[in-house]
Amino acid sequence: MSTTSPTPQAPPAQYFQKGLGLKAIAQDLLERDYHSHIVDYLRAHNFMLRIDDLEIHLAQEFGFCYGVDRAVEYAYQAREKFPDRRIFLTGEIIHNPHVNRRMLEMGIGFLGGQYQDDVAIEDLTPADVVILPAFGVTMIEFKKLSDLGCILVDTTCGSVLNVWKRVEQYARDGFTSVIHGKYYHEETRATSSQTTKYSGGQYLVVRDMEETERVCDFILDKSTPEEFLKIFAKSISPGFAPELHLQKIGVANQTTMLSSESLAIAERVKRAMIEKHGAAAINERFRNFDTICSATQDRQDAVLKLVTTQKLDIMLVIGGYNSSNTNHLAALAGQYTKAYHIDDPRCLTNVEVIRHKLYGSNEEIETHDWFPSGPIKIGLTAGASTPNNKIGEAVSHLARLRGENIEEWL
C-alpha cells in the first residue's frame, strides 16, 4: 500500500501551532471576558450554595476544557498580534454562541457556518489570517488555505490530533476506520479526511448502536451491499465497497461522544468480527483504541457522581445546542432526574417558563411550571465549550427566581 499522501500538507510560511507569543496579554483578556467570582465561590465551598430553601450543586468538573481554553486564547492572541489584518475562522471556534459572538465583536469573521458573512475561502489573500478551530479542518480545507498562502493559526485540540494519528495508522495498515460520531460534525469530517493520506484509505461513520447493528448485519451476511449503501450513503468514504472494506476494521471516536456508548459500539463490532472470522484471527481483523478525550470523560463522570449522590429535583446543563459533549451531559443526567439543556442563562425566563432543547432534537422548546415553590435542589454543569461567566450568570438567575440578590449570599 502506498504511504504517500495524495495532497502535500506542508504548512505555509506563517503557521502558528504553539501560540503567537502573547499568552500573558490574552490571559488578561480572557479573565476580563469569561471569569466568574460566583464560580470561584462555589469551588471554595464544596461546589454548593444554599439560598434559603434553594440548594445549588455544581458538578466538580465543568466548563472550558484545556483544548477549548487554548483555542480561544489563540484567537485572542491572533487579534492582538495582527490588529490591522483581516482575521477569519473557518467555522465556529467552539460550539458556544456566546464565545462565537464575542469573536464577531472582536472583528473576527467566519468563512462558514451560521455566523458566516459574505467572505469565502476563495476570497482570501496571503495577507489574511485564518484560525483553524479546536475541531480541526479537513485535508482539503487545509490544502486550500496553504495554497493561498494565508497566515494560519492552528488551534486543533491535542485530543483530536490523537484520534487523527489512530485513523491515519489504520489507513496505513489497510484497516477501514469505523468512527463513532456524527458524520456532519466538523471534528468527524476532519478526522475522516485523515484516511485520505494513504491510497485506499476508507472510513465509515456510525452515529449510535442502532447504526452499528446495521454494520454488524452486513458483516454477518444478514444484509446486502445495496441495503448497506442506502443506509450509510452520507457517512462513508467515496467508493466505499462494504464487501471489501469491512474485512479489517479499526474503531475510533469523535472525542465528545458518550464514552459508554463508544465502548459498547467497539465491543459489538468486535463480537461480530469474531463470529465472522473466528477468535484466532481477531488481531488481524480488528483494532480499537478509546479516543474519548479525558476532559469529556471527566465531565461525564462528574455529572454521574452528582446525580447519583444528590437527590436532585432538576439538573441544568449549559452549553451550545450544537455542542456534542453538552448534549451527552444532558442525556446522561436525564437518566436520573429532570434535566434541561439550555444554551444561555437567559433561557431561565421566569418561574413559569424555561426555554431548552430536548436530547435528539434541534429545536428549542418552552416548558411551563418548571421551577416549583418550596425547597428545591438543583444540579448545574456546563459543556466543555461553556465559559465560567455563563455558569455564574445561571446561578444569579436562579437566585433572582427566588427574589434574591446572589451577592448577598456570597
Catalytic residues: 187
Alpha-carbon radius of gyration of the chain: 23
* Cα 79–chain centre separation: 24
Task: Assess contact for 119 and 104: CB atoms under 8 A.
Answer: no
> Which stretches of 122-208 are DSSP H helices?
139-148, 158-172, 186-193
Locate 240 and state its grid cell: 466505499
Place of cell 482539503: 140
End-to-end Cα, the chain, rounded Å:
64
3-state secondary structure of 130: strand
Locate 187 and state its grid cell: 471534528
Strand order in the sheet with 353-357: 48-51, 54-58, 376-382, 314-318, 338-342, 353-357, 364-368
Task: Assess contact for 183 and 235: CB atoms under 8 A.
Answer: yes
Task: Assess contact for 389 and 72: CB atoms under 8 A.
Answer: no
Q: What is the DSSP letter of 236?
A: B
Locate 75 and state its grid cell: 484567537
Task: Assess contact for 203 and 4: CB atoms under 8 A.
Answer: no
Cα dist from 268 to 213, 243, 275, 363, 370, whole Å = 8, 19, 11, 32, 39
